[in-house]
Amino acid sequence: MRFAFTEQQTQFRDALRQVLDKECTPDDLRDACNAPMARSRRWATLAEMGVAGLTVPEAHGGLGLHLLDLAPLLEEAGRAALPEPLIETTALAAPLLAAFPSDRVTGWLEAIAGGQITAAVAAIDERGWMAAPTPDGSVVVAADGADLFILPAAADPDGRALELHAVPVADVSVTSVASLDPTRRLGTVGWEPSPTTLIASGDQARSTLGDLAERAAVATAAELLGLADRMITMAATYAKDRNQFGKPIGSFQAVKHLLAGAQVKLEFARPAVYAAAWSLGDPELVGSPQGARSASLAKAYASDAATEAARVSLQVHGAIGYTWECDLHLYLKRAWALAESWGSAADHRRRILSSLVDEVRPTQG
């Protein structure tokens, strides 16, 4: 057993943090809120670093790495509340496309690695984990401005025969949908399935969407770790600077215990997320009940850790934290959105328990 990141993985994380500290400041986030766009100068920088194309096969200009390598980078993206769709494009769309090679797919993979396109991923998941806030999955994250759409379709009226399509922006009409965090760029997508856009159908489509949901849960969990860390750090810094009753409010136990409680939750979420990212690359665990529980543990723990960090960091900031001027809300809103995406903590607890009970009572399922 060697449950640790490699020197190389750690260095990549540090390099990304340095870049995002400069290029994804709170002011940059405010600009992104005012004028949401899918591909910024920052996305080009991420492509140059190899981040955007990290999961694209080397033959198509990427680094050919895995979600485990991406996890620490997603954590940094979360810490910075990166507005660009790193989860959708790099954690989800690129590995999915790479599994269905064709000339069209090759072009898209090369464009992802080159930073020329971003992707949006709509997921109808039969277990009811929604990436977007409508039950039919019609509102799609990162849709407004995306160049490529991964879209599921029902091939029969019952919705039992699934198809999976990869559709370029020219073949869709996107209507933006307002949400709490404008940088999420939600939208509805109008489109018609066609043979040219079809990439998988039937059981293959179904299992691909199942894998996608596991990857999405873990990738989202990784971003939530970074967000939680950011919010706790901001609140701890504020608690050291803000004086009341003649001393820093951080010297009061009531304040200390709020932040310590959130920090403990975060500390225990981290290894759970890293283990889940590793499990997704282990052939024996992919698709197994144990692998599914690992992904659900990661998402449930990270969602709860980030929700707690959000609640506590706002409370420690007091009234200033409730203002538009204070930067805290930029991170709170992303945390609230991601905590509910790809399955809430409660969804994943329910999934874990039913999986465990299946093992105890195999005949009654």
Partner 1 sequence: MDLRFTPDQEAFRAEARAWLSAHAPAAGSLPSLDTPDGFEAHRAWEQTMSADRWSVVSWPEEYGGRGVGILEWLIFEEEYWRIQAPTRVSQNGIFLLAPTMFEFGTDEQKTRFLPPMASGEEIWCQGWSEPDAGSDLAGIRSRAQRAPGDDGWLLTGQKTWASRGAYAEWCFGLFRTDPEAERHRGLTYFLLATDSPGVTVRPIPQIDGEPGFAEIFFESVFVPDSQVLGDVGQGWSVAMATAGSERGLSLRSPARYTEAASRLVSLYAAQLDRAPDRAARSADAVAQAWMDAEAYRLNTYWTACRVLAGGRVGPEASANKIHWSETDLAIHRAALGLLGPEAELTGGGGAAGNPWLDGFLFALAGPIYAGTNEIQRNVVAERLLGLPRG
Q: How far is the CB of 174 from partner 1 (least distance, A)?
A: 38
Binding residues among 243-282 for partner 1 as defined by CB under 8 A: 247-248, 250-253, 255-257, 259-261, 263-264, 267-272, 274-275, 278-279, 282
Q: Is 242 in the site for partner 1 (CB under 8 A)?
A: no
- DSSP state string for 350-365: HHHHHHHHHHHSTTT-
| Of the candidate residues 5, 23, 138, 176, the single one contacting partner 1 (CB under 8 A) | 5
Cα separation, 287 vs 331, in Å, equals 33
| Of the candidate residues 93, 143, 297, 330, the single one contacting partner 1 (CB under 8 A) | 297
Cα separation, 93 vs 289, in Å, equals 24
Of 268 and 322, the one with the shorter C-beta distance to partner 1 is 268
Q: Is 361 in the site for partner 1 (CB under 8 A)?
A: yes
Q: Is 3 in the site for partner 1 (CB under 8 A)?
A: yes
Cα separation, 253 vs 120, in Å, equals 45
| Of the candidate residues 17, 104, 311, 349, the single one contacting partner 1 (CB under 8 A) | 349
- Residue 167, helix vs strand vs coil: strand
Can you state the angle between helices 67-79 and 7-23, rounded to 10 degrees?
A: 30
Which token pair is 94? 């690129």
What is the DSSP secondary structure assignment for residue 181, as one 8-state letter?
S
Pick the piece of the chain touching partner 1 (CB under 8 A) from 2-10, 23-31, 93-101, 198-206. Answer: 2-10
Q: How far is the CB of 252 from partner 1 (least distance, A)?
A: 7
- DSSP state string for 22-41: HHS-HHHHHHHHHS--SS-H
| Helix intervals (H) in 114-149 | none
Residues lying near partner 1 in the complex (CB under 8 A): 1-6, 68, 232, 236, 239-240, 247-248, 250-253, 255-257, 259-261, 263-264, 267-272, 274-275, 278-279, 282, 293, 297, 300-301, 346, 349-350, 352-353, 356-357, 360-361
